[in-house]
Amino acid sequence: MDGKTIGYWVTTGLFSLMLGASGAAYLAGAMTEAVSGHLGYPLHFVYLLGTWKLLGAIALIVPLWPRVKEWAYAGFFFNLTGAAIAHAGVGDGIGEIMAPAVPLGLLLASYLLRPDRLSVTAGS
């Protein structure tokens, strides 16, 4: 395995673990106050986000389905940038606003390091 492949699996594994655990916490109700109460999102949105985070984390780990991976990458990008904007919108400090930057960095590294066979544009 070359360095690029190792980097892909390390960043993808860490990211999927982080966001998969986050999705599980959302579904278990551990994030209800933070997302629904503090940020003001409707309660059903907490469970929707949790479900999509878990499914997206699985999509990134399974070494198949390039098109589904592209959607997962895009969804996570929107989720993480939206989280930063939501925290800024309710007046949270710089720490809360920048917290999504760590997983976003892992997501971008995973996307840029992904093998050609997992790219939608491979063979196009």
Task: For residues 56 and 23, give the distance between their C-alpha atoms in angstroms, rounded to a whole number.
Answer: 9
CA–CA dist 11, 17 (Å, integer) = 10
For CA atoms 39, 44, 47, 49, the dihedral sign is negative
Secondary structure class of 42 (helix, strand, coil): coil
Per-residue pLDDT tens, the chain, 124 aa: give them: 899 999 999 999 999 999 999 999 999 999 999 999 999 999 999 999 999 999 999 999 998 889 999 999 999 999 999 999 999 999 999 999 999 999 999 999 999 999 877 777 754 4
